[in-house]
Amino acid sequence: MSRRHYNLPPLTTLAAFEAAARHLSFKNAAEELSVTPGAVSHQIKALEGDLETALFQRKHRGVELTEDGKALFEALSSSFSNISKTLATIRGRVSVGKVTVGSTTAVAALWLSPAVIRFWREMPEVNVDQIAQDRPFRDRPDIDFFVRYGRDSDPSLSHTPLFRDHLTPVASPELARQLTGADLEQLAAQRLIHLESDDRSWTTWPEWFQQLGYPGKIPIVSRVNSYSVALQLARKGAGLVLGWQRLIQPMLQSGKLVTLGPHHLTAPNQFYLVGRPDDELSESARALKNWILQEVRDGSV
């Protein structure tokens, strides 16, 4: 096989390996790279053939890295991370007046978008791109920072604390009146709307009841994969949602949803702004970040 200056195998094989090693899954790597699992497997076999060593141990329920695989993944992960930071710096110089911020759809709708609108009124020359998705933000060098509940697993990312929320059941005004004074056992017997998320850091109904000392079984009848959808169902009287009080404050203030006291739990994790360190952010990105932090301190979000 012909070699270029750095004596590397084809970069497509390295990219496929890095994604598969990071996920420990050919399927998840294929989804990230927008190819088929067979294509990922083909690229990795080609790389293993070129290196004349096995990089993965194929097992019945997945794959594990061999020692050679671990060494190669560590080198690629570090190199790709450095390349990503350099590219982000270059992009930042090219688009000084542009900021990209990410969040879940619920965070975007309930308080990030209003905060951005207020920021635009003060700094109309800065263009802000918002990316809202209900799955973890991974490998997105175009994003300056994103709002996350709990710390990200990537140790290279900067974490700036925002606030710690409180969790309490919420319902439509009509259903809330019917459940006035309800104890935990009565709440557990209601239709509970469960949120399914790829991010396991979000507190679930069973965890909430367990933390408050309720020993009974929590049935799972209704599931959704979007917190915004869960809130809309609760507004229509379809059941109870585990409410993040500060996050849904606009809906509580408007009376669209009502908390069911006195049962509440302090969230085990904080909300953070997660992203590149401040010295790697553009002036515009730092301005938006500082604006959001000030809004949190002022109680606007």
| In-domain check, residue 5 | no
| In-domain check, residue 121 | yes
Residue 175 sits in the same domain as residue 258: yes
The domain spanning residue 75 has which CATH number?
1.10.10.10
Q: Long-range contact list for 45-50, CB < 8 A, 24+ apart?
A: 46/9, 46/10, 46/13, 47/9, 47/13, 47/14, 47/16, 47/17, 50/1, 50/9, 50/13
Per DSSP, what are the bridge partners of residue 243?
168
CA 83 – CA 189 distance, rounded (Å): 53
The domain spanning residue 233 has which CATH number?
3.40.190.10
pLDDT of residue 1: 44
**Do β-strands 127-132 and 98-103 pair in parallel, antiparallel, or remain unpaired?**
parallel
> Which has the higher per-residue pLDDT, 136 or 281?
281
Residue 181 sits in the same domain as residue 243: yes
- Name the pLDDT band for 26 (thresholds 50, 70, 90): very high
Mean predicted lDDT score pLDDT of the chain: 89
pLDDT digits (tens, 9 = 90+) for 147-195: 999 888 888 889 999 999 999 999 999 999 999 999 999 999 999 999 9
pLDDT of residue 175: 96
Average pLDDT on 204-208 reads 95
Q: Of 51, 75, 90, which marks where a domain is finished?
A: 90
Q: How many domains does the chain have?
A: 3
What share of residues in the chain are helix, strand, coil (percent, to 5)? 45, 20, 35
Per DSSP, what are the bridge partners of residue 158?
275
pLDDT of residue 94: 52
Count of other CB atoms within 10 angstroms of residue 80: 17
Residue 195 sits in the same domain as residue 281: no
Residue 19 sits in the same domain as residue 45: yes
Q: Give the tokens for residue 51.
A: 């290196």
Instruction: Give the range of the structural domain holding residue 19, as residue numbers without chain letter.
Output: 11-90
pTM over 0.95: no
| In-domain check, residue 6 | no
- HSE-CB at 249 with a 13 A cutoff on CA atoms is 11
CA 99 – CA 129 distance, rounded (Å): 6
Under 8 Å between Cβ of 117 and 89: no
Residue 102 sits in the same domain as residue 155: yes
Residue 219 sits in the same domain as residue 130: no
Residue 181 sits in the same domain as residue 256: yes
> Which has the higher per-residue pLDDT, 226 or 135?
226
